[in-house]
Amino acid sequence: MAITERRATRPRSAPPKPPVKKGNRDSQLTAAVLFLIPASIGFIVFFASPALRGLYLSFTKYNLLRPPTFIGFDNYVAIATDPVFWNSLKVTLEYVVLNVGVQTIAALGLAVLMQRFTRSMIVRGVIMLPYLIANVIVALVWFWLCDYNLGIINAALDSFGIGKVGFFGNADIAMGTIAMVNVWRHLGYTALLLFAGLQAIPKDVYEAAEVDGAGEWRVFRSVTLPLLRPVLAFVLVVTVVGSFQIFDTIAVTTKGGPVDATRAINYYIYQRAFERLDFGYASALAVILMIILAGVALLQNKLLRANESDLER
């Protein structure tokens, strides 16, 4: 149950469907039912019914000790006027914009670098390594690198005569620091997805551009970028949806502080549920998060016309 699962598989406009043969259509139904028993238990017990239960709980007051009492839309009404919620939405957005913005641009740059200068599998393996290390470990390593007193970064800044910076302790920059830590973790992974997209662009398109005498920048803007758009759209949906659910890094470093500066929405849901035992309220917050995420995914797909390629096949 990864809460920040960013790995996803790209949905297609028309998923390939296995051919259905008329005639023996139902003959294999029994086998299918048997094959699907374990997965269906998982789906019904741990996805579908918790989703419905979560929706129900969002209309109740529930502290785990006494049975939930139905209170209609009270949780949602309370959320609408909850300054902590609005602040959490604000800092989450701040995080998403910083994280995804920097990460996408840097990854695009790195993907182009790889495309132009190397085919080494070792380079690919190395740049992807941070993505395979746990969020918790990455957060702790950077927490140590950025430590005010002894961290190498502040020690270096100090020795250059530049003042020390409270990367995690200063409310103005703590969220930015967390965003950059996760850029470090996801840069290689994102670059690798984009690199694969670049590799899929037919070589003759470049040759044609070269023949036409187009310069490097021109080729990138008029050929590479438009042809990369479907992959870029997929990467953006996955990273934005993942970013919105930032939790682990905050949980082991700032715990939402200083003050409220890094209390992202997922962390607020966690605090409401497990620190204040307010499961109804937390469930309502989770419903709102889900609606936001569905909206984001739909909007991005529309804006980027994700499923059409500019390449006529």
Under rule CB under 8 A, which residues in 133-192 are in contact with other proteins?
A: 133-138, 140-145, 147, 150-152, 155-156, 159, 184, 187-189, 192
List binders of other proteins among 187-226 (CB under 8 A): 187-189, 192-200, 203, 206-207, 210
Report the C-alpha gap between 194 and 173 in whole angstroms. Answer: 29
Shortest approach of other proteins to residue 249 CB, angstroms?
A: 10
If we measure between CA atoms, which residue out of 290, 292, 274 comes closest to residue 62? Answer: 274
Q: Which residue has the tokens 């949806």?
A: 241
Considering only residues 7 to 26 of the shown chain, the ones binding other proteins according to CB under 8 A are 7-11, 16-18, 20-21, 24-26
Residue type at 261 in one-letter notation? A
State CA 217 to chain mean position distance: 30
Residues 242-261 touching other proteins, rule: CB under 8 A, are 244-245, 247-248, 251-252
Residue from the set 59, 92, 234, 240 that interacts with other proteins by CB under 8 A: 234
Q: Which of residues 80-109 bind other proteins (CB under 8 A)?
A: none
121 forms part of the interface with other proteins (CB under 8 A): yes
Stretch that binds other proteins, among 74-82, 90-98, 270-278, 299-307 (CB under 8 A): 270-278
Least spacing, CB of residue 41 vs other proteins, in Å = 5
Residue placing its CB nearer to other proteins in the complex, 102 or 293: 293
Question: Could you say which of 132, 162, 277, 311 contacts other proteins (CB under 8 A)?
Answer: 132
CB 190 within 8 A of CB 109: no
Q: Which amino acid is at 299?
A: L
Q: Is 283 an interacting residue with respect to other proteins (CB under 8 A)? A: yes
Q: What separation in angstroms does the CA of 138 have from each of 111, 156, 178, 188? A: 23, 20, 11, 14
